[in-house]
Amino acid sequence: PQAGSRVPEWDRDDIREIFVGSYRVIYRYDVDVEVVAVIHAARMLAERKPPGEAGLK
């Protein structure tokens, strides 16, 4: 799970991203891995809040 890069907009160690084609696959990991978002790489993420701050568990 730590193979991905930290998501610069959120700056959290538990949230990472990998790029698949033109998409960002953003995931959170602890014991399990949870996909948080799959968005086109050209889209801005700054308006979205990280999990736990947006009412997500």
3-56: per-residue pLDDT in tens? 899 998 888 899 999 999 999 999 999 889 999 889 998 887 766 666 666 544
pTM value > 0.95: no
- Indicate the helix (H) or strand (E) that contains 5: strand 5-6
CA 5/CA 3 separation, integer angstroms = 7
Whether residue 28 contacts residue 15, with contact meaning beta carbons closer than 8 Å, is answered with yes
Q: For residue 28, what are the contacts with CB-CB under 8 A and spacing of at least 6?
A: 14, 15, 16, 34, 36, 51
| Domain locations in the chain as residue ranges | 5-40
